[in-house]
Structure 1
Amino acid sequence: MTESLEDEHRRVAGISAPDLLSEARRLDAADPLAHHLAAFADAPGVSAYLDGNSLGRPLRDLPEKVSAFIRDDWGTRLIRSWDERWMALPMTVGDRIAEVTLGAAAGQTVVADSTSVLLYKLMRAAVAARPGRDEIVIEAGNFPTDRFIAAGVAQEAGATLRWVEPDAVMGVTAEDIAAVVSERTALVALSHVDYRSGALADMPSITRAAHDAGALMLWDLCHSAGAVPMKLDEWGVDLAVGCTYKYLGGGPGSPAFAYLRTEHHGVITQPIHGWFGAADIFAMGPEYAPADGIRQLLSGTPPVLSMLPMQGMLDLIAAEGITAVRAKSISLTDFAVRAYDELLAPLGVRLLSPRESSRRGGHITIGHDSFQEVTKRLWSEGVIPDFRFPDGIRLGLSPLSTSHEETLRGILAVRDALA
């Protein structure tokens, strides 16, 4: 692969691409996290995987771990594993996510359901917890699931949606929120990292703006958990939901997690009253009584097998610390922006993400009218970015599984497809 990459560079006018290759190799050589690249499974035929912000790569040892689970936990211990470990797994893995990535104390995070179901549970519960308030504030360009569920909750609760329309590249600000919240606002629901531009919201400032109006604050952490440090407890966040199949490596369809601040336990009650969230799971009584603490966010039987892959990724993040992971993420996206400037901007490609690293998460987005067709060609050639309608390619650079040279290889492929 190195020889073909260098041959490709020789066809580039000027010296920019060779200089970028030298820089990529220098950055990779100095990368303190580079040794983790070997921990991820190879994907035959793929020369650049730039979609880790949609689906993380699996760890190399996962087949052995799954096999051991089937042989031992399930195959040998059988139903006894529920009493021995599985019953508490949603809370223990939730606490691990909180400790490693969220800046949250134990007892406030649980793994359960999909992102969509957990968003519904928390949105519906939050609106019910603010009687007399009949507005939900949400960004007009937020991920469709967030908007669709907010609209459904508003319809059920007789509430009104108030739309925020921030700058499409820089994302929502505290000033945007302060301008729309009022004594009628029950809930503000936003994404920490914009799924399109990668813009990173100022979580503490926006949370304060919501609280100043007496509203509850819910954050969607799907594009930040595992890539961006946060301090949910310190910043006063009320509720949060995040998926685990992106930077947390949980695999396709892995369950999401929910955070509910301790002060809201027993006050905010979720609306899907399943047996696993009951105070006495095996009482089989005539009426539902919620469990104390975070377990009341559960409804049905937890997806035990689907919680296995993310645990290895959490161990890797914990070994280095989320601050070090963020530093690698910034290095990758900074390098991608420099490569964009030299190789893609002259071809009419637009940068659709903030340039300042402190204002963006773990991916950058570039735009061109031909990118839908370009993406099809790239995939057929083993270069895997992510297309977002109408004309954006996202370069999702998962810090522990992506190198600077792989990033450059992908950007060169975009340049060649345009040429």
Structure 2
Amino acid sequence: MSEPRARAEELDSADELAGLRERFVLDDVVYLDGNSLGALPANVPGHLDDVVRRQWGELRIRSWDESGWWTAPERIGDRIGRLVGAAPGQIVVGDSTSVNVFKAVVGAVRLVKLTGEDRDEILVDATTFPTDGYIAESAARLTGHTLRPVAPHEVPDALGPRTAAVLLNHVDYRTGRLHDLPSLTSAIHAAGALAVWDLCHSAGALPVDLDAHGVDLAVGCTYKYLNGGPGSPAYLYVREEHQDRFDSPLPGWNSHTDPFGMSSGYEPAPGARRGRVGTPDILSMLALEAALEVWDGVSVDSVRTKSLALTDFFLECVSAYVPEGRVECVTPSAHAERGSQVALRCPEAGQIMKVLIERGVIGDLRHPDVLRFGFTPLYVGFGDVERAARVLGEVF
């Protein structure tokens, strides 16, 4: 037995989270694409069957009250809150990440405007996932602000008296680089601006601690490390101290203080409900709620510890199996700067990923030359990691 394989067996035998794998529907492939779409939690199909057959099929309209459909966005939001360090009443689930980014950025600009300060600039992460950049540009045009893209490490020097809000990604989707949320949020506040964070690649993989670090607004998807399913609804965090002044650019009947009063005038609801817009997507919403049950009894800190161990071990195995000089790791080696993925740059990355998938190792590609591997500690083991690196070496 090779030394990496023996080491994998040793690590798997000591893994306190190994039993969580049984909570998912998995086969014999090595699934390292949970940072794009999480695996299916085993309890979701049965729960959805009940939602469709009994709640919808038998109770029908009564389920808005009797099955708790109406309160699901806030109830599930509180459940996510426990994973991102947010006290109850600050997160609402619904809509897509893109829609929630729009709400958050415009809402942040409007909050700053209420202070009377003349701030007309929005900073955006220059390396962001494209949609965040598109939304930020649209928000800037609609609010009469200037948009300035800057790299996250340049933010402290770019801040100034004109800065109203800053939109940043907690983890870079291409490289897996983890940005310093506490210090960047502090710098943004010191400049008199508000911080908006995109948590798509960090929630469910590492501690975020929104409340502790004073984050103003945050958004995130639920289909990656939270395993909510394809197209599952996103969420919006509005810090409690901002909620009574949060002016959503998308007011809808669901966020009205009296939604069934059908008033022609809009009066926003209190608390996290202000982030709601229209009728919730109940089927996806309740699939997500069931999926979040896999977190019962699981500590985010323990998940982070395993995540770092998995990525460390993967890099060790890559060094052992892949011929020297064939790949370049673009993910930071320092734990403080690493999310839960490893990105390797190499020529012909597209063809290599195709072969990996054919051989049962599922990662993904970021054009033109990056192989991206996501490590979901709830169901990825050290044996998976060793096998993935070994197959990668054989491909070369």
Taking structure 1 as the reference length, the TM-score comes to 0.91
| Partner of residue 282 from structure 1, selected from 249, 256, 260 | 260
Q: Please tell me whether the aligned partners of residues 349 and 368 of structure 1 are also in contact (alpha carbons under 8 angstroms).
A: yes
Q: Please tell me whether the aligned partners of residues 226 and 317 of structure 1 are also in contact (alpha carbons under 8 angstroms).
A: no
- Whole-Å separation in 1 of the counterparts to 2:318 and 2:45: 37
User: For residues 253-281 of structure 1, what are the alpha-carbon distances to aligned partners after superposition, in whole Å with 9 as ceiling and x for unaligned?
Assistant: 00001100011112121111211111111
Secondary structure of 1:270's counterpart equals coil
| Partner of residue 33 from structure 1, selected from 10, 13, 17 | 17
Residue type of the partner of 1:362? Answer: S
Number of the residue aligned with 1:104: 86
Matches within 5 A, 1:157-306: 157-165=143-151, 172-173=152-153, 176-306=154-284
Residue type of the partner of 2:79? Answer: R
Q: Please tell me whether the aligned partners of residues 337 and 355 of structure 1 are also in contact (alpha carbons under 8 angstroms).
A: no
Q: Please tell me whether the aligned partners of residues 334 and 357 of structure 1 are also in contact (alpha carbons under 8 angstroms).
A: no
Is 2:45 aligned against 1:63?
yes
| Partner of residue 69 from structure 2, selected from 86, 92, 95 | 86
What residue ranges of structure 1 are gaps of 5+ in the alignment? 1-5, 7-17, 166-171
| Partner of residue 377 from structure 2, selected from 386, 396, 399 | 399
Matches within 5 A, 1:67-78: 67-78=49-60
What residue ranges of structure 2 are gaps of 5+ in the alignment? none
Secondary structure of 2:195's counterpart equals strand
Secondary structure of 1:366's counterpart equals strand
| Partner of residue 119 from structure 2, selected from 130, 133, 137 | 133
Number of the residue aligned with 1:318: 296
Q: Please tell me whether the aligned partners of residues 265 and 293 of structure 1 are also in contact (alpha carbons under 8 angstroms).
A: yes
Q: Please tell me whether the aligned partners of residues 318 and 390 of structure 2 are also in contact (alpha carbons under 8 angstroms).
A: no
Q: CA deviation at 1:341?
A: 2.0
Q: CA deviation at 1:78?
A: 1.3
Residue type of the partner of 1:299? Answer: V
| Partner of residue 376 from structure 1, selected from 341, 354, 358 | 354
Secondary structure of 2:322's counterpart equals helix
Question: What is the total number of aligned residue pairs between the two structures?
Answer: 391
Q: Please tell me whether the aligned partners of residues 218 and 236 of structure 2 are also in contact (alpha carbons under 8 angstroms).
A: yes
Tell me whether 303-312 or 346-355 shows the greater mean CA deviation. Answer: 303-312
Q: Please tell me whether the aligned partners of residues 250 and 308 of structure 1 are also in contact (alpha carbons under 8 angstroms).
A: no
User: For residues 344-373 of structure 1, what are the alpha-carbon distances to aligned partners after superposition, in whole Å with 9 as ceiling and x for unaligned?
Assistant: 361420011011222211111111011111
User: For residues 192-246 of structure 1, what are the alpha-carbon distances to aligned partners after superposition, in whole Å with 9 as ceiling and x for unaligned?
Assistant: 1111111111111100100011000000000010111121111100000000000
- Whole-Å separation in 2 of the counterparts to 1:135 and 1:390: 32
Number of the residue aligned with 2:35: 53
User: For residues 379-415 of structure 1, what are the alpha-carbon distances to aligned partners after superposition, in whole Å with 9 as ceiling and x for unaligned?
Assistant: 2333210101121111101111111111221222222
| Superposition misfits of 4+ residues, deviation over 3 angstroms | none
Q: CA deviation at 1:129?
A: 2.2
- Whole-Å separation in 2 of the counterparts to 1:233 and 1:47: 38
Identity, % of aligned positions: 43
Secondary structure of 2:244's counterpart equals coil
- Whole-Å separation in 2 of the counterparts to 1:241 and 1:319: 24
- Whole-Å separation in 1 of the counterparts to 2:43 and 2:143: 47
Q: Please tell me whether the aligned partners of residues 385 and 396 of structure 1 are also in contact (alpha carbons under 8 angstroms).
A: yes
Number of the residue aligned with 1:332: 310
Q: Please tell me whether the aligned partners of residues 96 and 221 of structure 2 are also in contact (alpha carbons under 8 angstroms).
A: yes
- Whole-Å separation in 2 of the counterparts to 1:112 and 1:61: 22
Q: CA deviation at 1:313?
A: 3.8
Q: Please tell me whether the aligned partners of residues 111 and 246 of structure 2 are also in contact (alpha carbons under 8 angstroms).
A: yes
Number of the residue aligned with 1:156: 142
Number of the residue aligned with 2:95: 113
Taking structure 2 as the reference length, the TM-score comes to 0.96
Residue type of the partner of 2:55? Answer: D
Number of the residue aligned with 1:354: 332
| Partner of residue 42 from structure 1, selected from 19, 22, 26 | 26
Q: Please tell me whether the aligned partners of residues 228 and 292 of structure 2 are also in contact (alpha carbons under 8 angstroms).
A: no
Q: Say what the alpha-carbon RMSD is for the aligned residues.
A: 1.4
Q: CA deviation at 1:87?
A: 0.7
- Whole-Å separation in 1 of the counterparts to 2:313 and 2:87: 34
- Whole-Å separation in 1 of the counterparts to 2:328 and 2:139: 37
